[in-house]
Structures are given as C-alpha cells and as structure tokens.
Amino acid sequence: MFRRVITPACALAFLVSGCQRYVFEFQPESKVIGKSVDLTVDRPSEADILFVIDSSGSMATHQANLRNNIKVFIETLALSPQKFQIGITTTDLNCANLIPATGTADFWDGKCGRLLSPDGADPIMRRVDYADNNALIDRFQKTVESVGIAGSGYEQGLKAAARAVSADLTAPGKSNANFVRPTALLGIVFMSDEWDCSYSDDPQLGDSIFLQTRLSAAQSCYEFEPKLETVKHWADAVTQVKGRASLVSASSITAGTVADKVFTPSQCSVGGDGLPTTACSCFQAQPTAFCKYTDPSSPPAGSVVLSGPQESICFGDGCCQAMGNPRYASFVDFFRLRFKDSICRTEYKQTLVEIAKILQRDCFPLEDGPAGGREDWIRVQRRGVGETAFVDVPQVPASVGFDGDGWFLFKDSLTTTGATVSEVCLTGSFKRVIGDAYKIDYTSEVAGLDSDIPAGDTPNQSTTETGR
C-alpha cells in the first residue's frame, strides 16, 4: 500500500499556530472477479474402456479368471447412468497391415490394436445396445474366450493400446471407428503375465534383434530391454489422443505383489491362499536376473528351495507362474486415474470393482481455475431431483481425490498449449444424476492490493463479475 503525507502551509505557519497533517491513502485499482457456474445434469458421463489382453500360451487360467469375474465389473459400472462402451484387443502385434475392406476375416481379429469380435459383428460393446447387464456380460465373456492363447510370444501391450486409440484405427471406415469419443474418459486395462516387449515400428529392429535371436521370446525382450521403445513414448501417444492426461485412466493386472497398498511389479507371485506372495523361487531375483520359469531343471543361483517334490519352481493349482513386469506398472504411473494389482489372485472380483470405480469419473470443467489455485475459494452446492434448496457438497482434499466422498479440484495441462485446465470432480456418493442441479462459485481473479491475501481469508469483493 502506498502512503503519502501532505503538509499544507509553510514552516513559519507551523511554528506560529501549528499545521494540520492530512494523510491520504492511495490505493491503485483493485478488484476481485467471482464466477458462478449453474448447470443441470442433462446427460451422463462417458467412458471408452479398452482391455488389452495377453494372448500368449500361458494365459489360459488368467483369461478364465477374467471371464468368471467380469460380472461384478459390469454391474459396478451400471450403478451409474454412465454411457460406457468396451473394446478388447490383444498383445499380439504379429500381423500384416490393416485390411481396409470391412467384413473380411481379419478386420476384427484383435491383432495390431484392432478390436476383437468373436463372430464378425461390431466389436464395440456399447451399454445402450444391450437389454440388460446379463446380455452384455455374456458378450464380454465370449469375446474374452475368443482371445485364445495362440498369440505372439512377443507381447506388445503398450504398443497395442497406443495403436488401438490412434487415428490410424479410429478414423471413419477403420476397424476401431467410433471407439474413441471426444468427451469420454479413455480407460485402458492391461492384463498380462509377462514382460512388455513394445518396440518401435522400425521393421529392421524387430527382425534383426528380437525375431531372429536364438533366445526365447520372453528372454529376448528382457535381455534387449534398452532397445524397446520407452514407456513414456507410449504414454505420451495415448495422452496426445485425448489432449490431456486427466481424460485417461490406466490399470494393470500384471505380475507383482501388493503390500500396504504398494504394488511391487518386479516379483514373481505364488497365490496358494488366493493372494499374491513373493515365494516363487524362480523369479525371486527377477528382473535383475532372467530365469526360465518353464524349466524347473536349472534353478538360478541363490534361489530359494521350496518344500515339496519340485525344488526350483512351483506347480499345481496353488502356483502362479508370472514374470515381473515393471513396464506396464510404469505406464500406469503416468496417469493420476490409475490402479495396479497382481495377476496372481485366485479371483479378480475386488480388482475389477476398484477399476470400475475409477472409470466412473464425474467432473465439471471451469472456464478458468480459482485465483492462485486456491481450492478454499470454491463452493459447490447441489440440489437433487425433487429437492427445493441447494445444499453444500463437502470438499475432499485433492490428495485424497476419488477415494473421498464429496468434491475436489482436478488440475491438468493441455498437451497442445500447456495451459492449465481445472475441473470440479465428484466422488463417493456424489455421482452425476440426470436432473440434479449444481452451483459452483469461485474466485477466478484477484488484482491489485488485495491479491496477496493470507491462506484462509476470503477476498473482499470490491468488484464482482458473474459468468454463467
């Protein structure tokens, strides 16, 4: 604040009779701009859900587990009016270029990012196209069954996901046309028990280093890991499709363990009691050392000997032979909407429920965010269908996010300009319901002397502009 003291008259006058001192406060132009967003929910949220399923020879048990438990996934999604659609592709990138003619045998074969159809019908499973949940569940199960276990041993799940949502496959007339909708959340779910081997499109790289090696597919992908395309490359490719990372959700059901809610992707798992552990001798040191988990005759140095008839590897119903996979887990970590779990569970019910919860993203964009990023300058109120008054929706700390019950501020950056995008997101019991009305008031700008307001204070709104 500027302070100026003006003394009228002269020094002599001051000596004779004294002078009055006039203090003038000079305050430059100051204003606070408040905005209000009034809206009534007239349409549900949307989600485009892509399952990328390993189609190699070791996946039969895991695919059956997914089929047997997908019911809870569909039913959890169906608890809200969300317009979701589901597509399935595989980790198999061993195929020729796209066949352009719709209806050919290979058009929806699930390879190279193409969506899979078990019977040649439209591969996109849209909720609105099915009379009830059971019909959609049945279709999903048949599609997973058609994934099979005859796919390439060079699993390239990250590359398959990026191709599946790329313009090359989603443009009109292409195999995945209409799968990626502009305003929908893109949810990607990886399911694999081995290392991701996504290398670039350079044919010489694949032919000379991976496909011509004498090593097994799994070992060559492990040994030549530095030759693989970076995980960031594939995460950036998917983000570019949606324009910002907050419109992407990523989940992985891969090899690893979960302890204290921390996912450890670099361990082999044995789940005799239905839960993943680190007891598998073969992969105890993997990925710092490679081991052929299908060959029990040569245990690696330092391996732990298990009790029972087999000394170096587990067999039977209680054994889960899976290779630790840090690449899928690293991809998932690029996104805030994420979930990671072990493929070595006897059932995936809770895993699929947690993934479905994340996919029910309900957010309202703000024209601009609160001044200074101050979340405490936002007020969210809701008037439910049939109610007459607005009531406050409780605020959830951004660090809690979708695990809370209320609203929180979600901030992200556009890939095109780098500009920050702010959204008010609902979570917990506060879900988007057709007919509900919301009022969101926030301070978008504070200019002048009042702009430096301590945390917790409310701006003195000398000037207020309202936008709807």
33 has which bridge partners? 445
**pLDDT at residue 357 tops 80:** yes
pLDDT of residue 51: 98
Is residue 144 within 8 Å of 63, Cβ to Cβ?
yes
SS3 category, 440 = strand
Torsion region of 460: left, alpha or beta (phi above 0 gives left; psi -120 to 50 gives alpha): beta
Q: What is the mean pLDDT of residues 219-238?
A: 89
Q: What is the mean pLDDT of the chain?
A: 77
Q: Which residue has the tokens 């990012």?
A: 113
pLDDT of residue 428: 83
pLDDT of residue 210: 74
* pLDDT, greater one: 22 or 290: 290
Is residue 279 within 8 Å of 270, Cβ to Cβ?
yes
Is residue 149 within 8 Å of 55, Cβ to Cβ?
yes
pLDDT of residue 257: 66
**pLDDT at residue 363 tops 80:** yes
Among 255, 150, 237, CA closest to 200: 237
17-69: pLDDT as tens digits:
344 444 444 444 545 667 888 888 887 789 999 999 999 998 999 999 999 99
Angle between helical axes of 60-77 and 133-145 (0-180°, round to 10) = 160
Could you give the CA distance from residue 122 to residue 279 in angstroms, rounded to a whole number?
A: 43
Band (pLDDT 50/70/90 cuts) for residue 332 is: very high
**pLDDT at residue 199 tops 70:** yes
pLDDT of residue 29: 52
pLDDT of residue 404: 85
**pLDDT at residue 224 tops 60:** yes
94-139: pLDDT as tens digits:
876 555 554 454 689 999 999 999 998 999 999 999 989 999 999 9
46-255+325-359: CATH, from 3.90.1150.10, 3.40.50.150, 3.40.50.410, 3.40.1050.10: 3.40.50.410
Strand pairing category for 248-254 and 31-40 = unpaired
Domain range list for the chain: 2-30, 32-42+362-451, 46-255+325-359
Could you give the CA distance from residue 396 to residue 379 in angstroms, rounded to a whole number?
A: 12
SS3 category, 294 = coil
**pLDDT at residue 451 tops 90:** no
**pLDDT at residue 278 tops 70:** no
* pLDDT, greater one: 458 or 230: 230
pLDDT of residue 53: 98
* pLDDT, greater one: 334 or 431: 334
* pLDDT, greater one: 206 or 243: 243
In this predicted structure, which of 147-151, 388-392, 395-399 has the lowest mean pLDDT? Answer: 395-399
Band (pLDDT 50/70/90 cuts) for residue 205 is: low
* pLDDT, greater one: 20 or 196: 196
User: Percent of the chain beyond pLDDT 90?
Assistant: 40
Of the CA atoms within 13 Å of residue 412, those in its CB half-sphere come to 22
Among 56, 410, 35, 18, CA closest to 216: 56
* pLDDT, greater one: 90 or 15: 90
Among 244, 182, 183, CA closest to 416: 244
Write the DSSP assignment of 146-179 as a string of letters: TT-S-S-SS--HHHHHHHHTSHHHHSTTSTTTT-
> Which of 223-227, 228-232, 440-444, 452-456 tops mean pLDDT?
228-232
Q: Go through 392-429 and write b for each residue having 16 or more CB atoms within 10 A of its CB, e for each that does not.
A: ebebbeeeeebebebbbbbbbeeeeeeeebbbbbbbee
Among 403, 335, 355, CA closest to 49: 355
Burial class (CB in 10 A: 0-12, 13-18, 19+), 204: exposed
